[in-house]
Amino acid sequence: MSFSRRSLLSLGALALAPPALAQGKPAPKPLVIRGAKLIRAGSPALDDALVEIRDGKITRVQAGGAPPAGAEVVDGTGKTLSAGFIDLLTGVGLMEIDLEASSRHAEHASSDPIRAAFLAADGYDPAASAVAVTRSGGITSLGIVPRGGLVSGQSAFVDLVDEATLSPIVVQRLALHVAIDDAWLEAGHASIGSTLLGLRELFDDAREFKKNPGGFDKNQMRKLVASRLDLRAVGEALAGKLPVVFHVDFGHEQDRGAFQRDRWALHRPDGEARRQMGHRRA
């Protein structure tokens, strides 16, 4: 099933953009979308749907019916209505013009390939022009992903809100990203074998740091391959508190199977991490 942008209404975009409430003024009138075909996850589509939204939250969904008195009504006849879409691998809001360094915030400006503590959330710009364009296409939430280096940093989950009083950052630390793709290998950084060796050493060093962080601060340990904050972030990933996403291009058959969880001694994300990954604004 395919939809043109003109025929697709985003329910999430409307819900994430509530009217501003002025102090001392009555609550805004409800918004009603009627007549559209509503796509529902796990349920059959609902024809001639009526969806009521109050204060930015969906309060009623039904087939047909009349809108409440005084409601603002949007005629969705001939259109398809859906919840907002999610793009989990994007740089929207982190980069405006690729050739303009001042507008690029997806990458830590460092020659160090280990950037585990770098947070994409710190560079996110909700006022970027690409955010509004993306929201108009029906995408209401993003996983904004850092890039560059071997361990690129940590992604964030954001809502594409256009209300200044709402924070767009839903989950500041969504996952740790490791890029062992063709771009990394073709840049001449290392062979696949050397890259995997470097990762094993990083994981071992993160475990050593966790055992004796004070010794690291007092220079009483052997030299480790990453900084204090980077080792702490990798340690959280090894403990299952932060999910890890490997970006891999399996262009060569010998690379297959290299990223089995047990090989890296990675644990499944714990309950809190899984809760954060599934978090959505109420």
pLDDT in tens, 223-259: 999 999 999 999 999 999 999 999 887 655 444 445 5
Same fold? 5-83, 86-277: no
Nearest to 160 by CA among 85, 98, 103: 85
Element (H, E) at 13: helix 11-15
Tell me which residue has tokens 């055992």.
Answer: 211
Task: Assign domain 86-277 to its CATH architecture.
Answer: Alpha-Beta Barrel (3.20)
- Is 31 in contact with 52 (CB distance < 8 Å)? yes
Write down the pLDDT at residue 279.
47
How far apart (Å, rounded) are the C-alpha atoms in residues 61 and 40? 11
- Checking if the pLDDT of 282 tops 70, the result is no
- The answer, yes or no, to whether residue 169 has pLDDT greater than 90, is yes
**Which residue type is seen at 64?**
G
For residue range 182-237, list pLDDT tens digits in order: 777 777 666 778 888 889 999 999 999 999 999 988 888 889 999 999 999 999 99
Whose CA is closest to 114, among 215, 190, 213?
A: 190
The pLDDT of residue 275: 53
What residues does each domain of the chain span? 5-83, 86-277
CA distance 61 to 84: 16
> Tokens 């771009």 correspond to what residue?
183
Yes or no: say if 60 and 52 are a contact pair by the CB < 8 Å rule. Answer: yes
Nearest to 265 by CA among 248, 240, 233: 240
- Show the tokens assigned to 87: 């793009």
pTM score of the predicted model: 0.75
- SS3 (DSSP) at 91: coil
List the one residue out of 179, 139, 135 whose CA is nearest residue 155.
Answer: 179
Q: Which CATH class is domain 5-83?
A: mainly beta
